[in-house]
Structure 1
Amino acid sequence: MSWFARLFRSEPEKIAAERLYAALVAQAREPAFYRDGAVPDSLDGRFELVALHAFLLLRRLRAEGQAGARLAQALFDRMFVDMDESLREIGVGDLSVGKRVKAMAKAFYGRAAAYEAALGDSAPATLEQALARNLYGTLPDRQGLPLTAMARYLRQAAAEIGDQPAASLMAGQVSFPIFRLESR
């Protein structure tokens, strides 16, 4: 979508994207991911959880045809405006912000492709390996990580978001499951 078209994107679409982004960020900030899920409580760890939840939403929205694709693009744009603003807030210089945002977008696309492929693979280890490489990629020691629980959460979240009514998602309403180490 061109910058000109994005400039004149409908207000309901912007509002829905803002709501969805707020919901995914709130989910990514859930303490259980850091406490029980062993995700590093760092800039990298927070980016990874935002990327994971954004992937889930974008995946679902794109299944809704053109309207879903437009909302997915608005959500993606909102996410990277936030990334840009966050980098500036932490003091990254203006000259390097664009390069860093571009690198983050490339990283996001890589993760989305890995998660998509892993969700389509029936072998549970494939998703666990994708999570180990990405979600936990900055950890020097990846032994004992709750990869099975995190993979279970990702599959559950994908299924639950997939079952949510399109009209609710298009209005900016989404719910995520609770992350638990133990299945219930």
Structure 2
Amino acid sequence: MALFGLLRRRPHERVGFTLYTAAVQAARDPSLFGEDAVPDTLEGRFDLIALHAALLVRRLRHDPDPRGAALAQAVFDAMFADMDMNLREMGVGDMSIGKRVRVMWEAFHGRAVAYEGALEAGDEAALGAALARNVWAGEAPAGAAERLARHAVALDAALAGQPFEALLAGRVAFTAGEGT
């Protein structure tokens, strides 16, 4: 009987991957990249995925439904399973995967905490400063951090307005006005 317990999926695993995949798709929006926007590099892509995933996790963790925290954890788990798989596909050796994923986790956690604090305070300027520090190492092109901060605030509001039951079913909209 214990063996079957090891083979059983976690309750929200599939939905977590579906929601995370939607966050990745939103983070790949070409309008977010460019000369006066986020650099189209591995680091820039990671930062946009981290931002979108952090906003989604924030939405789920703050839901009054007790399943929200478990679903947020499932999104987080999906993100780092994907990061692990991507590192392997890029040819990173098995011996260093764990260390690199830990560094990515720490980077994500630091970003998520900074973004959460600014969003909770309603401080778009602080959010822009955190984004400039993380995405552009403090030297963002003129107006880029502010534009990305406005984008994040709008996404945060759009996510907050989406019904938990839709999220629980794996349906999420990363732009205001999209159907759920």
TM more than 0.5: yes
Higher relative contact order (CA 8 A, sep 6+): 1
TM superposition shift of 1:66: 2.5
Separation of aligned partners in 2, 1:8 and 1:124 = 39
Residue 24 (str. 1) matches residue 23 (str. 2): yes
Worse-matched range after superposition: 156-165 or 146-155: 146-155
TM superposition shift of 1:38: 1.4
Contact 1:153-1:177 within 8 A present in 2 as well: no
Give 1:144's aligned amino acid. A
Give 2:86's aligned amino acid. S
Partner of 2:126: 126
Query: What does 1:29-68 correspond to in 2, within 5 Å?
Result: 29-35=28-34, 38-64=37-63, 65-68=65-68
TM superposition shift of 1:67: 0.6
Give 2:61's aligned amino acid. R
For residues 154-175 of structure 1, what are the alpha-carbon distances to aligned partners after superposition, in whole Å with 9 as ceiling and x for unaligned? 1110001000011001111111
Aligned pairs, number: 171
Aligned-residue sequence identity (percent) comes to 47
Gaps of 5+ in 2: none
Taking a change above 3 Å as real, the CA distance of residues 168 and 135 of structure 1, as seen in their structure-2 partners, is same
Q: TM-score, normalised by structure 1?
A: 0.85
Partner of 2:165: 167
SS at match of 1:35: coil
Contact 2:36-2:141 within 8 A present in 1 as well: no
Q: What is the RMSD of the two structures over their aligned residues, measured on CA atoms? A: 2.0
Query: What does 1:1-184 correspond to in 2, within 5 Å?
Result: 7-10=8-11, 13-35=12-34, 38-64=37-63, 65-137=65-137, 141-177=139-175
Give 1:162's aligned amino acid. A
TM superposition shift of 1:36: 7.0
TM superposition shift of 1:102: 0.5
TM superposition shift of 1:35: 2.8
Gaps of 5+ in 1: 179-184
Contact 2:36-2:142 within 8 A present in 1 as well: no
Give 2:153's aligned amino acid. R
Worse-matched range after superposition: 91-100 or 29-38: 29-38
Contact 1:37-1:150 within 8 A present in 2 as well: no
SS at match of 1:173: coil
TM superposition shift of 1:5: 8.1
